[in-house]
Structure 1
Amino acid sequence: MSLELTPSQALGLWHTVSLSQVRSEAHDLTLRQMAILLQIYLVPPPHTVRGLAATLNVTKPVITRALDTMGAMGLVDRVRDDRDRRNVIIKRTVAGALYLEKLGDVVIAEARQLPY
């Protein structure tokens, strides 16, 4: 399926999906948390706090706070790197994968509703 959207349609889709997420029982993530979560799940691992901070151009404490929140939701997990105990490896979880799969389904469903 090839989908070409105008900027207005793209923003409308983002708006509709965002409203759907806020209205649902799903986790209500900030834009920063969503960007981190997508980075973890869409880019091949390994992921570290340091690496995520560099990729998103934010500080390590910013990443740590977001991971604390997402960890409490069960969307990610953290473990110390056995080779370098200073590094924290970010792990995917089943709950996080299911969350993003459902979100992807919402995006697809809403995109199919767009007028062409």
Structure 2
Amino acid sequence: MQTLVGYVRSGQPDLTNRQMALLLLVYMTPGPHTVRGLAQSLGVSKPVVTRALNTLGALGYLRRERDEADRRNIFVAHTEMGAHFLEGFGGLIDGSMPEHALDKAPATAH
């Protein structure tokens, strides 16, 4: 409960369970990650993953990258902002980081 209360108080955007699951899946499992593979892992449709990626991309937590070997493929990749967000969220879970720490993005993130 304290983790979620801290998260709400942090002022960060409210992520849905699907968005958070997608974010964690990309950061905690080996890639490369594709929309098709992520949809299969989560048991949802590709449009559901695409909508979640649109939101997470707009927040700067994930990004899409074109596969240079096959330009038809798009990979989903980590960002510094996403890593910072999850680090802060993890700190809320284990009690090592105050809720306001989620507000501070790294200086190099855009």
Q: TM-score, normalised by structure 2?
A: 0.81
In 2, Cα distance between equivalents of 1:93 and 1:106: 20
State which structure, 1 or 2, has the greater radius of gyration over its C-alpha atoms: 1
For the 8 Å contact 1:77–1:90, the answer to whether it is kept is yes
Q: Which residues in structure 2 correspond to 1:1-116 (within 5 Å)?
A: 15-109=1-95
Unaligned runs of 5+ in 2: 97-110
Q: TM-score, normalised by structure 1?
A: 0.77
Number of positions where the alignment pairs a residue of Structure 1 with one of Structure 2: 96
CA deviations 1:38-79 (Å, max 9, x no partner) are: 000011111110100000000000000000000000000001
Indicate the RMSD between aligned Cα atoms, in angstroms.
1.3
Aligned-pair CA distance for 1:28? 1.6
Unaligned runs of 5+ in 1: 1-14, 111-116
**2:7 is matched by which residue type in structure 1?**
Q
In 2, Cα distance between equivalents of 1:102 and 1:66: 20
Greater RCO, 1 or 2 (C-alpha within 8 Å, sep 6+)? 2
SS at match of 1:91: strand
In 1, Cα distance between equivalents of 2:25 and 2:62: 12
Structure 1 segments of 4+ aligned residues over 3 angstroms from their partners: none
